[in-house]
Amino acid sequence: MFPFKIDESHPFVPVTFAVLAVSDTRTLETDTSGALLTELIEGCGHRVFERAVVKDDREAIAAQVKAWVAEEGIDVVLTTGGTGFSGRDVTPEAIEPLFTKRMDGFSVLFHQYSATTIGTSTIQSRATAGLIGTTFVFCLPGSRGACRDAWEAILKYQFDSRHVPCNFIEVMPRLNE
């Protein structure tokens, strides 16, 4: 795990997430990765506004993410699935054109950590992240292990207002500058 420091003198500030599973075979009831992310998010004290499942289709993926970005009060969108190499894996192609700012460091850290758990197989993921306006968007692989790795090693700390020396929460008020 990466080094981290929590300053307990800072107050915890909950934020609101939306979780989208991208799959041709899963339903809301059978989507274990989205369910895991929801459990991890809520377990840290944050809120999940909505969870949904869409097919591996560029337009459907982009439409759902755009709808959530337009929704007042959603701070973060997490997608799970569609980041591999198969012909149906189109999540990065659907989302990256929407980014107003890319977050290349996320992919680097994700792959660095993932290599410690699955070795060179991490190269088969096209995990990506960025901002769409003032909403953080992270596109994660569809496996539960990858979702857990992304949350436990990176996202849980960056979305904790007590994490020092810096975190996403303290940047949020300045995203409109």
Provide the 3-class DSSP secondary structure of residue 67.
Answer: helix
CA distance 118 to 144: 13
Q: 14-172: CATH homologous superfamily?
A: MoaB/Mog-like domain (3.40.980.10)
Provide the 10 A C-beta neighbour count for residue 174. Answer: 8
- What is the predicted pLDDT for the residue at 4? 83
- What is the predicted pLDDT for the residue at 1? 65
Task: For residue 100, give the nearest of 49, 66, 151 by alpha carbon.
Answer: 66
- What is the predicted pLDDT for the residue at 2? 76
99-122: buried (b, 16+ CB within 10 Å) or exposed (e) per residue?
eeeebeebbebbeebbeeebeeeb
Task: For residue 92, give the nearest of 80, 82, 106 by alpha carbon.
Answer: 82
CA distance 28 to 45: 22
Instruction: Mention every residue, 6+ apart, whose C-beta is less than 8 A from residue 140.
Output: 33, 37, 78, 79, 80, 81, 83, 110, 127, 146, 147, 150
Per-residue pLDDT of the chain (177 residues; tens, 9 = 90+): 677 899 999 999 999 999 999 999 999 999 999 999 999 999 999 999 999 999 999 999 999 999 999 999 999 999 999 999 999 999 999 999 999 999 999 999 999 999 999 999 999 999 999 999 999 999 999 999 999 999 999 999 999 999 999 999 999 999 998
Tokens representing 50 are: 């909505």
